Structure 1
Amino acid sequence: MAEREFTNEQQVVEHFQKLQSEYQSIANTISELELEKKDHDNVLQALKDLNDENRKTFRLVGQVLVERTVKETIPAVQDNSDNLGITIKKFTEQLNDKTLELNAFKTRYKIKFRGESDNTKVKERSSQGVLHSE
């Protein structure tokens, strides 16, 4: 994707905020999917501990509660868990790409947050020891 040129500071700030918002949205989606996967894994563990494969289970499909057996439910829940894992991986890749895009944008437009300093200055200070003059 060709990098757009910004003509003023306001456009840079707006685009940076947009990138941060996209980053946060992806991160939130990953968190929600991870919680859902954990729920699926907990259900799988509970079902695997049952000895009777013909025991009734109730599974919510859409907005309908469906009666199944443990034997039928385990593969369906396992598939859902596996698919969630794949989806989480894809979103994690998107998050990594967005991180690189944000960092490149910060570097290109020399964006720094309050309190953020250059690494070189921090290294110089730390190498001088506790007592130093500036």
Structure 2
Amino acid sequence: MATTTATPAQQPLLSQAAVVQKYRQLTQECQQLMSKVAELEQERNEHKLVEETLTPLDPDRRAYRLVGEVLVERTVKEVLPSVKENRENLEKTITTLRERLTERQRQTAEFKAEYKLQ
């Protein structure tokens, strides 16, 4: 069984309205990804600030942490590892989203060039 894959030149061209709609969809996805990255970067910076503030403190000192909508009393040695872990997870997520954003921007640029959009 032979399978054929169509090259971009062989694929049927989209109507002008479909091209514009597809381009708008791609740019909207890029904007959403950029917005999410910015939001997560701000959250990561807040975690970093808390981490820097807690690090020099006595490990047995009381610390309060907001869990959901509840303020919980803990010690610095209990709170600090979870703040570090959350920051690291945010950094991984930001990296993943940036990679996805780069790929989506590349796709958008290729689409724009293919259909000669301005």
Give the structure-1-normalised TM-score: 0.77
1:18-57 residue pairs with structure 2 within 5 A? 18-50=25-57, 52-57=58-63
Q: Aligned equivalents of 1:107 and 1:46: distance in 2?
A: 49
Which residue number corresponds to residue 62 of structure 1?
Answer: 68
Query: How big is the alpha-carbon RMSD for the aligned residues of Structure 1 and Structure 2?
Result: 1.5
Which residue number corresponds to residue 80 of structure 2?
Answer: 74
Which range moved further: 75-84 or 62-71?
62-71
1:109 corresponds, among 96, 104, 115, to 115
Larger Rg: 1
Give the structure-2-normalised TM-score: 0.87
1:82 and 1:5, CA in 2 relative to 1: closer, same or farther beyond 3 A? farther
The number of equivalent residue pairs is 110
SS of residue paired to 2:83: helix
Which residue number corresponds to residue 119 of structure 1?
Answer: none
Q: Aligned equivalents of 1:92 and 1:64: distance in 2?
A: 32
Q: Aligned equivalents of 2:64 and 2:110: distance in 1?
A: 50
Which residue number corresponds to residue 118 of structure 1?
Answer: none
Q: Aligned-pair distance for 1:94?
A: 0.4
Q: Aligned equivalents of 1:108 and 1:88: distance in 2?
A: 30
Structure 2: give runs of 5+ residues left out of the alignment. Answer: 1-5
1:35 and 1:5, CA in 2 relative to 1: closer, same or farther beyond 3 A? farther
Paired-residue identity, %: 38
Matched, 1:86 2:92: yes
Q: Aligned-pair distance for 1:5?
A: 4.6
SS of residue paired to 2:17: helix
1:55 and 1:7, CA in 2 relative to 1: closer, same or farther beyond 3 A? same
SS of residue paired to 1:49: coil
Matched, 1:13 2:20: yes
Q: Aligned equivalents of 1:96 and 1:107: distance in 2?
A: 16
